[in-house]
Amino acid sequence: MLDIKFVRENPDIVKENIKKKFQDEKLPLVDESIALDKEARELQQEADELRAKKNQIAKQIGALMAQGKKEEAEEVKKEVAKNAARLAELEAKEPEVREKLRSIMMTIPNIIDPSVPVGRDDSENVELERFGEPVVPDFEVPYHTEIMEKLSGLDLDSARKVAGNGFYYLMGDIARLHSAIISYARDFMIDRGFTYCVPPFMIRGNVVDGVMSFAEMDAMMYKIEGEDLYLIGTSEHSMIGKFIDTMVPEESLPQTLTSYSPCFRKEKGAHGIEERGLYRIHQFEKQEMIVVCKPEDSMDWFHKLWRNTVDLFRSMDIPVRTIECCSGDLADLKVKSYDVEAWSPRQKKYFEVGSCSNLGDAQARRLRIRVKGKDGKYFAHTLNNTVVAPPRMLIAFLENNLQADGSVRIPEVLRPYMGGKDKLEA
């Protein structure tokens, strides 16, 4: 959410930013928000003047009564009653105007970084860099569900009967591999100085409003019926929510946390979900990283975060590349975002396995996460990035480590988490 003062003083910048995101239908909201802000300030000013006048009149009535001027005092009391009625009207109207203003401000997109390429959708995202050499083996790489089933590691049929499409049972060595990757990712981030955390897996509605737009929430979140609780779609939600309504001492920044959680997503509009194996699912587990920092440090942290993911995948011999999201592909709260994509030998192309985002002060402003510095108070900047999100990551792992005989090689870094095994075989 932008600062209304910034919108008031820079309407052309805000409108140009909306155009860059190809959301022209939101252009009228800029002038509407400015008008509502003016109305709210005028209502507040008039109310403040009436409160001050009320105090002055109270003293005047006291003086008149002391002088025995009861008739004059009664006339003044009539003015007090008239002002009180107007004040009550103002006190009822001002919150309504401010709530309408807040609702509009929540839908005006954040100002994107000048370095973000302008494009309409993800088809215009830009490849930045490749890490590792993509390899296509001289044998056929089966679909990932077939690899897992041959290793007795996947049961989709039972999951459909128990929970429906978009769910799964992982079994045996595949289930162990899944846990091994999560554990390795946890230790990888701890070794890089991040504090490990297991957060709540449900959050309240005010936290949801603070970390994402309504459109994202509607497409992703499962609500607990009859309660003000939502299942998290990623632990970033509850991790950033941890700082809601806090005043963070500047000397304690940056806050660098890595978190484990299950994640739950509706995947609204995901047609044919049963045909996609583990690509698009309703439930998965994830290791995440988040940073709360000073504004001047956020872009440096952004580049450190996505590099962590690249280094993790390369340590498991998986080729990856980074993609910069164009303006039209950025969620409204984001300032800048990179996707990390892993190589798929079967598809002979890359696919997304993680996303790194700098949200500026948008989440902090919504959640009231402020920093107390030596020169005053200000809103923090927040960032998040996927460390690893199996079981989708398992697809990249299995395809890139599959051998001609159907076994799967275990990279050296994972062997301590797999009881010393160097390969999986039927």
pLDDT in the model for residue 276: 63
- As a whole-number percent, the residues of the chain with pLDDT over 70 amount to 93
Backbone angles phi, psi at 227, to 5 degrees: -135, 155
pLDDT of 274 above 70: no
Give pLDDT tens digits for 348-395: 999 999 999 999 999 999 999 999 999 999 999 999 999 999 888 999
State pTM to two decimals.
0.90
301/188 same-domain check: yes
State how many domains the chain has.
Answer: 2
Residue 115 lies in a domain: no
* Of 398, 57, 363, the residue nearest 206 (C-alpha): 363
- The CATH number of whichever domain residue 205 belongs to comes to 3.30.930.10
Range of the domain at 212: 122-424
- Average per-residue pLDDT for the chain: 92
99/146 same-domain check: no
Q: Which amino acid is at 141?
A: V
177/255 same-domain check: yes
Q: Given the DSSP bridges, would you call strands 423-424 and 408-409 parallel, antiparallel or unpaired?
A: antiparallel
Could you tell me the two tokens for 223? 């609500």
177/94 same-domain check: no
- The CATH number of whichever domain residue 22 belongs to comes to 1.10.287.40
pLDDT in the model for residue 202: 97
Residue 114 lies in a domain: no
For range 252-270, the mean pLDDT = 89
97/141 same-domain check: no
Q: Given the DSSP bridges, would you call strands 247-249 and 370-373 parallel, antiparallel or unpaired?
A: parallel
96/138 same-domain check: no
pLDDT of 323 above 70: yes
248/135 same-domain check: yes
User: What is the band of 215 on the pLDDT scale with cuts at 50, 70, 90?
Assistant: confident
Backbone angles phi, psi at 28, to 5 degrees: -60, -20
Q: What is the DSSP letter of 183?
A: H
Give pLDDT tens digits for 42-70: 999 999 888 887 767 766 666 666 677 66
